[in-house]
Amino acid sequence: MGTEANKDCDNKEKAITADELEETVTTKEQLTNFANEVSILGLKQAVNPSYSYIRRAIWFCFVLVGFGFLIHHLKNRFDYYFSNPTTVSMNVTQNDTLIFPTVTVCNSAPFKASSLARNNETEIGNLFHVGHSGSPDWSLFNLSRTSWTDFYVRNGFQVEDMVVFCLWKTKECKSNAFRPVLTEFGLCHQFGGDGGDLQVDMEGSRYGLELFLDTQQSREYEGNVLDEGALILLHDMDDQPDMLNFAIRTVPGQSSLIVLKLKKLVNLPAPHGNCGERKLAYYKKHNMTLKTCGCRMVYYPKVRGYRDCSPRDIITCYFPLSENTTQIKRQCGCIAPCEILYFDYSISSSKMSPKAISSELNRTAESVEKDFVSVALYYTDMTYEEVVQQEAYSTLTLFADIGGALGLVLGSTLMTLAEILDFIFGLCVWKISRWKNKILNTFRKQEAKDSRRV
């Protein structure tokens, strides 16, 4: 009995060894067949049995070097792709009509001296001026009962005070062409800021906007006004005018020609850009003023529950806060709009003829030189410049680069990946099938042994 048991064990070991040997040989043959059939140059030479070992080793090294270069190139391309690169294209387009900017006009002085004197508010008006220095005795002023928005309006330069005449495309401007708006320079007036966009359909100075302004410098300026003349800002209809940073300063006694150039900037949203559209509750400085000073500047939108900033608030809180612009920008969290209309310009000036103009206006030549400003705004051609931010590296370009690298280094294509995946899937299915068959055979043999014992 012992001898028969030993023989059964020996036969079992021989059977398992034969199965394993058969599996090994079959797997090797499948890998060799795959290497000969797959579209990877050099791989079939590396497994060709008719070649010497050295020759096959050299070919195998070539294949490894090719794979190494391919992996390096793929990493470079994927890193570049996920960096979301962009490029900028610039086009100059001819158009039948062009949008004319909203024009905001301000006097360099925020208040009229005669209005302040008539309202017994001269001293209070001087507190608002940027050039005010020192620390006033606040107990001398009753600042709690004043509506500062009304203060700016009743003491500012009205449109009839500043605009002597206005021509829009050779026609006299309508009486309601200007609307009042409050800015850092007090009461200002906007042309084209109410209603739809203004359009021009011809180039040249006659088909734009002509303004003749009276700054009343010789009669209405206080001694602490540092600048002279009028300020003009070109901006989009929906933009809040920032006169302090972007206004054009014109000089009394001069005629200025402002040649316009319309530019349209188009930005990309995430992930390639940083543009977006969202409704803002406040402006960046406005938000900081509300939180820090507990009041709003009169030229910012009204917010329920917040009063207008008084001269004391402006001097002791707003001015120091405005100096820290870096903190304001950091806390803003604002994003760039996806489309921006930008009005570029070039300006040229010449001296007016005081004698000729003084006779028409019934003013002295000295008054013309000190008080009056002439401005013409127009396009010289009916073209606009469009600057578009574009995706620099698309998904299609990435696949094209991958396919090019595969073809250059290994003579392969993206379909080679399908061949490899198909082979791996087939090999796994074959392995699982053999494993299941082996388990079934083991159970069958065990059942056969048990049945013989019984």
Q: First CA to last CA across the chain, in angstroms?
A: 16
Q: Which of 207, 225, 205 is nearest to 215 (CA)?
A: 225
Q: How big is the chain by its Cα radius of gyration, in Å?
A: 41
- Dihedral in degrees, nearest 10, Cα atoms 132, 133, 139, 142: 10
CA dist., res. 21 & res. 103, Å (int) = 91
Angle between helices 53-82 and 395-410 (to 10 degrees): 170
Fold of 91-110+156-276+338-391: Acid-sensing ion channels like fold (2.60.470)
Q: Which of 153, 156, 160, 161 is nearest to 177 (CA)?
A: 160
Res 131: pLDDT: 45
Cβ atoms of residues 152 and 110 within 8 Å: yes
Q: Which of 60, 87, 432, 13 is nearest to 266 (CA)?
A: 87
Structure tokens at 34: 């795959």
| Model confidence at 5: pLDDT above 50 | no
Structure tokens at 191: 């042309």
| Model confidence at 134: pLDDT above 70 | no
Tell me what the mean pLDDT of segment 322-345 comes to.
74
> Strand locations in 148-195, DSSP E?
163-168, 171-172, 178-183, 186-191
Tell me what the mean pLDDT of segment 38-67 comes to.
83
Tell me what the mean pLDDT of segment 229-246 comes to.
90
Of 233 and 18, the structure prediction assigns the larger pLDDT to 233
| Model confidence at 274: pLDDT above 60 | yes
Q: Is 362 left (phi over 0), alpha (psi -120 to 50) or beta?
A: left
Of 66-75, 168-177, 331-340, least confident by mean pLDDT is 331-340
- Of 2-6, 22-26, 101-105, which one has max mean pLDDT? 101-105
CA dist., res. 15 & res. 8, Å (int) = 11
Q: For residue range 390-422, what is the model confidence (pLDDT) as tens digits?
A: 999 999 999 888 888 888 877 777 777 777 787
- Of 68-72, 219-223, 301-305, which one has max mean pLDDT? 68-72
Q: Where are the domains of the chain?
A: 18-83+396-435, 91-110+156-276+338-391
Phi and psi at residue 204, to the nearest 5°: 115, 160
Q: Which amino acid is at 212?
A: F
Structure tokens at 322: 């405005």
Res 13: pLDDT: 44
User: pTM (2 decimals)?
Assistant: 0.73
CA dist., res. 228 & res. 231, Å (int) = 9
Res 130: pLDDT: 46
